[in-house]
Amino acid sequence: MTSKTTQPKFPQAAMSASREELTDLPLNTISGNIPEDWSGHVFIIAPVGTVASGGLPNPKGTHIFNGDGMIYRLDLQPGQVTAKTKLARTPCYYADQATFTHPTYSTYQFQDHGLLRFSSTLGLRDEVDIAFLSFQAQDEQQSRLMITYDAGRPYEIDTASLEVITPVGANTEWQPFLPFSYPFSPVLSTSHPTFDGYTNEVFLVNYGRSLVNFLESVRLINGLEQLSSEMEALLQAIAQLFQTPWGLIYKFSQSLWPKLFGWMEQCLGISMPDFVYLLRWDGKGKLQHWKLVLPDNSPVRIEQSMHQLAVTQDYVVLMDTSLKIGPEQILNNPIPDSPETERLLRVLLTRSQLPNSPIYIVSRADLVDTADTVVVRPAVIPLETVHFLTDYENPDGQITLHAAHLCATDIGEWIRQYDVCKFNPKEAPPPYLRGMLANGQMDIGRLGRYHINGETGQILDSQVIYDIHRHWGIGFYAYQEQLPSGLPPKKIDNIYWQSLGFWPELLTEFIYNLYADYPYRAATLTELLETLHHRPSSLFRIDTIKMEVADAYDAPPGHFISSPQFVPRLNSNGSSTDGYIVCTVFSGNSNQIWVFHADNLAKGPVCKLGHPDLNFGFTMHTAWLPAIAPRTSNYHIPIQQDYQPLITQTTIQRLFEEAIYPHFPETRE
């Protein structure tokens, strides 16, 4: 095995973020010239820790995605960019703040559990820190914007003030995945609902997983993190007993854990059935619901998550995506003084993500008011997927699906204090990387285009490509979302993707063992470990017609590119490359905004922008709006009316009255 010690280190800037809010901050031009022929507003969102961590890094080393969402708005003017930022202050944000700072409510505090933040009394934090969805109701002229999260309701924000305005749907319109009553109901949704700009309909999803019953035993989880010395000694003895190689223990645990959870469900006397509801919303009234079932009338069962949906003219496409959420994703750091025991628990509880992508196709013609249940057309795409898009057109019922495959790359795992580096087993990853995705990719990523029969689910043809040099960790995407008319394109002919690049210190021995037997391997284990050439973070454009990389920029060593967003030129000719790509870029202790010509990435950035006060960490998804304005929509869920039926304790009632309700008046001026 060849040492990677001479490779550039993963940028520490990505692990550092401030919770300070900014207003009208002019960005400094570090190099180049700010475009004169652009306008509008770029929105970026990023997790920035919680009230307990005070920003990033999180001293507990919890998953970097577990944090309040910070909304960043870049206001684009000819030759100038200013920034405004605002924390996403949802009702549970104020509850988290109050229980952390006020002794009266300290027994209700939220705790970090890996990917999630939970209170055994109040419920699950809805941290809305992943993505945006721009939408408009029928006959509205103003663009509206919601912020989203995989484990909670979306919230609509005011695009001018960036304040959180209202949840999308009342609590009674969402079904929790736990059979217990909490003020903040545990809800599974999607970070990427989808909007049909031709019919002005938003599609969302609400689902539950029978095997995701990990939070029903939150007291057990809390107990694991406060073990008695006797129990700790017992677990250490079990760890010593298991001297079998980790790979064999892992394979044993894969067959054991489904039975274990079924047994726990029976012992606890609870029922947690699988369910998936497709939701449709017109932006004005209540959510419409349809329960999705398979052709044999059994419920659709989601094994991991539904991170993204897509809509075509005649179909809605749902996918079981490879952002896994399981028992190990909430077990954060149970036994700090016993790393061997922690490793054992992690191996026994952790499973690899599915190597395939199950999809479920819904005919929009079946979504009628008189139906409660809709039958889906199932299909399976080889290779796992987190993000995908579809063309709006589906001629002759044929769906065109564009996918980025994060092959053997597990974003549900993160670096722990007891991890060791695969490239140097005698060393742990640097402490500043604790909480970062354990994203040492175990295979090269791929881009796929699939033609699917929408009526049968049959995959008619597919084309999959990859570049062994630059497709390590394909993640976020951008494309022309609006034509000059304001409508979305009916066919996506160019997609911009970014890749994280390969960073040796992010590959831990645990992840290596978890994916060593990956079934669709393109890069051999020998190539993975012994290849000396630089595998950079890249920004590249895929021509979806030719299915080839049409343009690309490779970041310099020690840099990585994130969160691309397409911005059309003023007076654009309507081409899907006539504009700019705005990205965040990290290197060392520096975070910057870089701007590229969308039709010439290879030329490098047009300009680089930054400011010492604009301290964002690992950024997520983005949006672009041509204009912003104070919100005028009448849609509003009254917060007190929404939560009052869920409150049963006097002290919690006082918490809501003192710390939450005053921030959400029944009407807003």
User: Each residue of 191-246: pLDDT tens digit?
Assistant: 999 999 999 999 999 998 764 434 433 334 444 444 455 545 555 555 454 444 44
Kindly state the average pLDDT of the residues 467-495: 96
pLDDT given for residue 665 in this prediction: 78
Residue 531 in this model has a pLDDT that exceeds 70: no
DSSP H/E element including 509:
helix 509-515
pLDDT given for residue 291 in this prediction: 98
Three-state SS at 639? helix
Residue 510 in this model has a pLDDT that exceeds 80: yes
Q: pLDDT digits over 34-46, tens only? A: 999 999 999 999 9
| Exposure class string for 516-545: b at 16+ Cβ within 10 A, else e | eebeebbbeeeebbebeebbbbbbbbbebe
Residue 184 in this model has a pLDDT that exceeds 70: yes
What are φ and ψ of residue 404, in 5° steps?
A: -105, 125
Separation of alpha carbons 158 and 41, rounded Å: 13
Nearest to 140 by CA among 24, 236, 282, 13: 282
Write the burial class of residue 405 (CB in 10 Å: 0-12 exposed, 13-18 middle, 19+ buried): buried
pLDDT given for residue 630 in this prediction: 97
Three-state SS at 166? strand
137-151, 339-353, 466-480, 547-561, range with the lowest pLDDT: 339-353
Confidence of residue 424 (pLDDT cuts 50, 70, 90): confident
**Which CATH code fits 12-212+272-322+353-663?**
2.130.10.10
pLDDT given for residue 269 in this prediction: 56
For residue 13, the one-letter residue type is A
DSSP H/E element including 146:
strand 144-148
- Per-residue CA distances from 194 to 120, 136, 279, 474, 517 (Å): 32, 12, 11, 21, 35
Separation of alpha carbons 349 and 359, rounded Å: 26
Could you state, in order of their start, the residue ranges of all structural domains in the chain?
A: 12-212+272-322+353-663
pLDDT given for residue 179 in this prediction: 76
pLDDT given for residue 213 in this prediction: 36
110-119, 275-284, 403-412, range with the lowest pLDDT: 110-119
pLDDT given for residue 243 in this prediction: 42
pLDDT given for residue 530 in this prediction: 76
Q: Are strands 155-157 and 144-148 parallel, antiparallel or unpaired?
A: antiparallel
Cα 388 to its chain centre, rounded Å, is 13
Cα 366 to its chain centre, rounded Å, is 29
Nearest to 425 by CA among 320, 507, 313: 507
Kindly state the average pLDDT of the residues 334-363: 77
Separation of alpha carbons 444 and 408, rounded Å: 8
pLDDT given for residue 75 in this prediction: 98
pLDDT given for residue 81 in this prediction: 98
pLDDT given for residue 230 in this prediction: 52
Q: Cis before residue 57, ω within 30 degrees of 0?
A: yes
pLDDT given for residue 533 in this prediction: 67
Q: Which residue has the tokens 């820190």?
A: 129
pLDDT given for residue 332 in this prediction: 52
Q: pLDDT digits over 312-325, tens only? A: 999 999 999 998 87
What percent of the chain shows pLDDT beyond 70? Answer: 85
Kindly state the average pLDDT of the residues 5-20: 89
Residue 69 in this model has a pLDDT that exceeds 50: yes
Query: For the chain, give me the number of helices (H) and strands (E)?
Result: 9, 34
Residue 646 in this model has a pLDDT that exceeds 70: yes
Residue 219 has which token pair?
A: 């007291």
Residue 469 in this model has a pLDDT that exceeds 50: yes
237 backbone φψ class: left, alpha, beta (φ>0; ψ -120 to 50): alpha
Q: pLDDT digits over 46-67, tens only? A: 999 999 999 999 998 889 999 9
pLDDT given for residue 273 in this prediction: 77
Separation of alpha carbons 575 and 401, rounded Å: 21
Q: Are strands 288-293 and 373-375 parallel, antiparallel or unpaired?
A: parallel
pLDDT given for residue 2 in this prediction: 42
pLDDT given for residue 197 in this prediction: 97
Kindly state the average pLDDT of the residues 368-397: 97
Kindly state the average pLDDT of the residues 525-541: 86
Confidence of residue 651 (pLDDT cuts 50, 70, 90): very high
Separation of alpha carbons 378 and 218, rounded Å: 34
pLDDT given for residue 667 in this prediction: 46
Nearest to 16 by CA among 47, 43, 42, 45: 47
Separation of alpha carbons 353 and 345, rounded Å: 18
Average pLDDT, the chain: 89
